[in-house]
Amino acid sequence: MNADKKVKILATLGPAINGIDDIRQLVESGVNLFRLNFSHGEHADHAQRYQWVREVEQRLNTPIGILMDLQGPKLRVGPFADGKVNLERGQAFRLDLDSTPGNAQRVSLPHPEIIEALQPGMNLLLDDGRLRLQVTAKHSDAIDTQVIAGGELSDRKGVNVPEAVLQLSPLTEKDRRDLTFGLELGVDWVALSFVQRPEDILEARELIQGKAFIMAKIEKPSAVQQIEAIAQLCDAIMVARGDLGVEVPAENVPRIQKDIIRTCRQLGKPVVVATQMLESMRFSPAPTRAEVTDVANAVAEGSDALMLSAETASGDYPLEAVQMMSKIIRQVESGPDFQAQLDVSRPQAEATASDAISCAIRRISSILPVAALVNYTESGASSLRASRERPKTPILSLTPNLHTARRLTVAWGIYSVVNPRLHEVEEVTSTALDIAQAQGMAQPGDTVVITAGVPFGQPGSTNSLRIETLQ
């Protein structure tokens, strides 16, 4: 087991990954879970990649998580008669429900929910924020705007509405078809795009019916404002900095990222930082110094996982990107101030036996030379509470549930072994010591801390802690 880094790596699969051997190399280089991006590719492509990951999981005998990322609503203007127009600063421009091809004075906006939500004075962003319009008047079937930042606008460019909450479900008909397919495949996580409010999580959970865990992508200002309520309802959060950076001023994104990480850690919910982390490695075997610093900062801030997007999906150097990210993570985690920074930002514990034990094992691992923290868990909840404490020592999670082990691949510092034959506390102790040694996490003479629950095997009952020495 390669447990020498605590921050996990989520890698996107795509055309750059050509088979089982490629995936195995990525896992051996540090990838812990994979993303299937349903904004691209056919169902057959995703099914093939899913099978490749499961084959590697079996060969390496290590749990590997699979996340399906739903596309969500895509808001776009209609076509232009000449394919494109140039909008000048200060000019008037109308967006309406008329499907007639547009010109320099107007274009179709086939989204009545946008027209309904906008009010005079609000801003409208086009083409990933390159053009900015301000609403001057609202009609039942159109909005009039003034161009604040102009430029070329071509067919079907994207629309962002940062100042309004749209009466729009995050799940389109395409998403619902994709979700049915992904759940039938057996994905472990569902990443939900276009989350605006807590109710969006409830809608998704009703459809998923416990068949997968939910990761909310935070890319809308309204979601940032309600981040605590959203995080409480979902199983993990993704800081989707690409779309978020369009809808909020770019200079605000680092602060928002820190705030979201802090909130998720307090709630004990895994948080993934995503988008453009090693973007230049799509075409270069080496990253820029700024990208290295960005990755290092996300590690130092306490992220559970970092995501590679086009770098591994369609880039020229997918393996090198993973190797570089692993190197940066290990370098930061081995720094003299890393653990001290995490301890300073330690969240407030709740008045539960599980949190008391989690705090205790963090403290014990800072006093004794503990080789591994071994936690028996049915649902993964107690391992997540231990991870929340960010202990100095890696967490070996023993579970009889493969679904739980795959869930935990996104969580900081947790490495899982599936063992269905655990029944009694004494058996857990001997088995824990044997597995810790077999996985290379402890050697004879090392100290191991073991946590479990009595009565044994009851979810949510973690209430015992043992300190053992491996003989």
* pLDDT per position as a tens digit, 147-199: 999 999 999 999 999 999 999 999 999 999 999 999 999 999 999 999 999 99
Judge if 219 and 312 occupy the same domain.
yes
Q: Is residue 37 part of a domain?
A: yes
The answer as to whether 342 is a domain residue is no
78: in domain: no
Distant-in-sequence, close-in-space partners of 262: CB < 8 Å, separation ≥ 6: 302, 345
Residues paired with 144 in a beta bridge = 94, 137
How does pLDDT run across 18-39, given as a tens digit for each residue? 999 999 999 999 999 999 999 9
Pair (291, 199) in one structural domain: yes
d(CA 63, CA 122): 47
Mean pLDDT for the chain overall: 94
Is the pLDDT assigned to residue 279 strictly greater than 70? yes
Cβ(99)–Cβ(142) below 8 Å: no
Residue 299 and residue 236 share a domain = yes
List the CATH number of the domain containing 384: 3.40.1380.20
Please tell me the distance from the alpha carbon of residue 376 to that of residue 450, in angstroms, as a whole number. Answer: 8
- Tell me whether residue 340 is in a domain: no
So what's the pLDDT on residue 318?
98
Distance between CA atoms of 402 and 422, rounded to whole angstroms? 14
In total, how many domains does the chain have?
Answer: 3
Same domain, 149 and 251: no
Which of 299, 332, 365 is a domain's end point? 332
pLDDT score for 453 = 74
Task: Clarify whether residues 156 and 174 are in a common domain.
Answer: no
Same domain, residue pair 353 and 464: yes
pLDDT for 457 equals 61
CATH number (domain holding residue 303): 3.20.20.60
Looking at the domain assignment, is residue 452 inside a domain?
yes
Domain co-membership, 189 together with 252: yes
104 and 220 belong to one structural domain: no
User: How many CB atoms within 10 Å of residue 336?
Assistant: 6
Among candidate residues 31, 32, 35, 42, the one with its CA nearest the CA of residue 68: 35
Give the pLDDT score at 456: 60
**237 and 370 assigned to the same domain:** no
**Structural domain includes residue 1:** no
- Does residue 312 share a domain with residue 212? yes
Residue 255 inside a domain? The answer is yes
Give the tens place of pLDDT for each residue, 406-440.
999 999 999 999 987 766 666 778 888 999 999 99
Burial label, 449 (beta-carbon count in 10 A; 0-12, 13-18, 19+): buried
Mean pLDDT of 216-220: 97
Both tokens of 171, joined, read 């799940």
Residues 156 and 176 in one domain: no
Cβ within 8 Å of residue 336, ≥6 positions away: none
CATH code at position 147? 2.40.33.10
416, part of any domain: yes
CA distances from 295 to 237, 264, 382, 412 (A): 17, 18, 28, 15
pLDDT tens-digit map of 52-95: 999 999 999 999 999 999 999 999 999 999 999 999 999 999 99
Residue 459, pLDDT > 80, answer no
Of 308, 332, 356, the residue that ends a domain is 332
Q: Are residues 355 and 456 in the same domain?
A: yes
Query: 214 or 345: which carries more pLDDT confidence?
Result: 214
The residue out of 140, 160, 180 marking a domain boundary is 160
Reported as a single tens digit per residue, the pLDDT across 333-382 is 999 899 888 888 888 888 888 888 888 988 898 899 999 999 988 889 99
The pLDDT value given to residue 37 = 98
- The predicted-structure confidence for 241-250, as pLDDT tens digits, reads as follows 999 999 999 9
CB 275 within 8 A of CB 241: yes
Percent of the chain surpassing pLDDT 90: 84
- Strands of the sheet containing 414-418, edge to edge, are 414-418, 395-399, 370-376, 447-453, 462-469
Active site residues: 35, 76, 217, 275
Nearest to 321 by CA among 45, 10, 35: 10
User: Residue 220: CB partners within 8 Å, gap ≥ 6?
Assistant: 162, 194, 195, 196, 243, 244, 247
Domain that holds residue 265: 8-72+170-332
